């Protein structure tokens, strides 16, 4: 750095003495497509920012608004991050979208993950300030690890000459790849429920409960992936920071992947609805079988009831008050009931 840069660096060091970022953070500095510094103090990041040939990345894990306010002048320098953008990034309650300001953009996104033990679907809020020479990522927790992102940047060294755009591309690529990992897990669970439905190894109620849980996960994923498609589409438009002609094809590739994720979500939703409708149909068929059997047994019982009721009349009949009459009525009852049972059995009603 020349003398002017050194003087500016000393001024930054003096201004930032009272600014403190208390949350966990990571950092990288690139110059000319080469990594020159990693995980250095933020004050040193501010010094490198003065060099017009550098590209800076800073990551904050679960920061407060005060952390973001303290970081803004260190990384942004003469670029003042919009107060609403800082507040929204700290709260993390925004749906996935891209917001453009005069000299920077703010990307809101969510990373999806599936707990390997419980199988529950979870998400991590991710925000990214995109500046001309800096990328600031903000994560609500460590559910979205940055180490795979760093590995991706190392593997994409040929793209680093495109500045902050290649950092943004790798971030988006990692987010969308995480969507496919979550979709693969849900897809396996859907296939397992489908197999249970066909082989009858689980009760219909168990299958329905699993299907409702899967449908809930699919709806949660759609609320993340669908808005992300719109954010990626906005990133492809002209005038967006870090969107140069050289990097746009890579953004387009990520956008195409996100569209495929949307198609898979639609397919999973249709499959789950098919499982539910099939299970309901099977449940209805089973109920019909039960009603058919109950009706058949009611008819069988009605025969002896009718006979005994008839012979219970208080009038004399052939065999009345004689042993032969008792045996004749008994044989008649058993014979009619047995014949009706055999008839129902032959028709498959019992």
Residue 29 counted as domain residue: no
> Backbone phi, then psi, for 200, in 5-degree steps?
70, 20
Handedness of CA 230, 231, 234, 235 (dihedral sign): negative
* CA contacts within 13 A on the Cβ side of 332: 14
Handedness of CA 321, 325, 329, 334 (dihedral sign): positive
Provide the pLDDT for residue 175.
96
Residue 337 counted as domain residue: yes
Residue 51 counted as domain residue: no
Handedness of CA 327, 332, 338, 339 (dihedral sign): positive
| pLDDT reading at 300 higher than 80 | no
Provide the pLDDT for residue 157.
67
Q: Which residues of 169-183 are buried (b: 16+ CB within 10 A; e: fewer)?
A: bbbbbbbbebbbebb
Cα–Cα distance measured from residue 125 to residue 62, given in angstroms and rounded to the nearest whole number: 9
- DSSP structure string for 87-147: HHHHH--PPSEEEE-SS-EEEEEEEEEE-TTT--EEEEEEEEEE-SSEEEEEESSTTS-SH
Q: What average pLDDT does the structure give for the chain? A: 84
Provide the pLDDT for residue 255.
95
Span 191-195, average pLDDT: 93
**Which residues constitute the domain of residue 296?**
290-346
Provide the pLDDT for residue 11.
43
List beta partners, residue 114.
121
> Backbone phi, then psi, for 31, in 5-degree steps?
-140, 125
Q: pLDDT tens digits, residue range 10-45? A: 444 444 445 588 899 999 999 888 889 999 998 898
Span 265-275, average pLDDT: 95
Q: What burial class does residue 33 get, using C-beta atoms within 10 Å of its C-beta: 0-12 exposed, 13-18 middle, 19+ buried?
A: middle
Cα–Cα distance measured from residue 347 to residue 350, given in angstroms and rounded to the nearest whole number: 8
Q: pLDDT tens digits, residue range 66-116? A: 999 999 888 877 678 888 999 999 887 778 999 988 889 999 999 999 888
Q: pLDDT tens digits, residue range 132-178? A: 889 999 999 999 999 999 998 888 766 777 788 889 999 999 999 99
Residue 304 counted as domain residue: yes
Q: pLDDT tens digits, residue range 321-339? A: 677 777 877 787 788 888 8
Which residue, among 253, 184, 260, 190, has the nearest Cα to 225 in the 3D structure?
Answer: 260
Residue 230 counted as domain residue: no
Provide the pLDDT for residue 19.
58
Which residue, among 8, 42, 13, 17, has the nearest Cα to 28 in the 3D structure?
Answer: 42
Q: What burial class does residue 127 get, using C-beta atoms within 10 Å of its C-beta: 0-12 exposed, 13-18 middle, 19+ buried?
A: buried
Provide the pLDDT for residue 9.
42
Residue 154 counted as domain residue: no
Cα–Cα distance measured from residue 301 to residue 350, given in angstroms and rounded to the nearest whole number: 14
Residue 341 counted as domain residue: yes
List beta partners, residue 128.
107, 137
Domain count, the chain: 1
Provide the pLDDT for residue 14.
45
Do the Cβ atoms of 258 and 176 come closer than 8 Å? Answer: yes
> What's the DSSP call for residue 52?
T
Residue 284 counted as domain residue: no
Instruction: Give, in degrees to the nearest 5, the angle at Cα 79 between 49 and 151.
Output: 50
> What's the DSSP call for residue 314?
S
């Amino acid at each position: 750095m020349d003398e002017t840069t050194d003087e500016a660096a000393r001024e930054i060091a003096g201004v930032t003495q009272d600014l403190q970022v208390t949350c966990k953070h990571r950092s990288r500095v690139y110059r000319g497509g080469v990594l020159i510094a990693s995980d250095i103090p933020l004050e040193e990041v501010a010094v490198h920012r003065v060099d017009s040939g550098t590209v800076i990345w800073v990551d904050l894990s679960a920061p407060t608004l005060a952390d973001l306010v303290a970081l803004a002048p260190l990384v942004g320098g003469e670029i003042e991050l919009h107060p609403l953008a800082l507040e929204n990034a700290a709260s993390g309650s925004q749906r996935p979208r891209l917001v453009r300001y005069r000299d920077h953009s703010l990307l809101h996104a969510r990373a999806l993950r599936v707990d390997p033990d419980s199988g529950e679907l979870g998400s991590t809020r991710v925000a990214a300030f995109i500046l001309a020479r800096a990328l600031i990522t903000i994560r609500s927790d460590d559910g979205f690890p940055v180490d795979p992102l760093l590995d991706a940047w190392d593997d994409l060294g040929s793209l680093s000459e495109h500045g902050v755009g290649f950092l943004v591309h790798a971030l988006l690529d990692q987010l969308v790849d995480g969507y496919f990992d979550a979709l693969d897990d849900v897809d396996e669970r859907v296939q397992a429920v489908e197999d249970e439905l066909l082989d009858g190894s689980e009760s219909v109620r168990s299958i329905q409960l699993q299907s409702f849980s899967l449908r809930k996960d699919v709806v949660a994923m759609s609320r993340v992936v669908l808005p992300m498609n719109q954010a990626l589409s906005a990133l492809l438009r002209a005038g967006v920071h870090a969107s140069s002609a050289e990097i746009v094809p890579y953004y387009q590739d990520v956008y195409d992947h996100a569209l495929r994720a949307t198609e898979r979500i639609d397919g999973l939703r249709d499959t789950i609805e098919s499982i539910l409708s099939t299970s309901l149909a099977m449940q209805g068929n089973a109920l019909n079988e039960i009603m058919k059997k109950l009706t058949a047994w009611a008819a069988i019982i009605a025969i002896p009831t009718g006979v005994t009721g008839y012979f219970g009349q208080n009038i004399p009949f052939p065999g009345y008050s004689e042993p032969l009459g008792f045996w004749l009525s008994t044989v008649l009852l058993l014979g009619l009931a047995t014949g009706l049972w055999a008839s129902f059995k032959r028709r498959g009603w019992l």
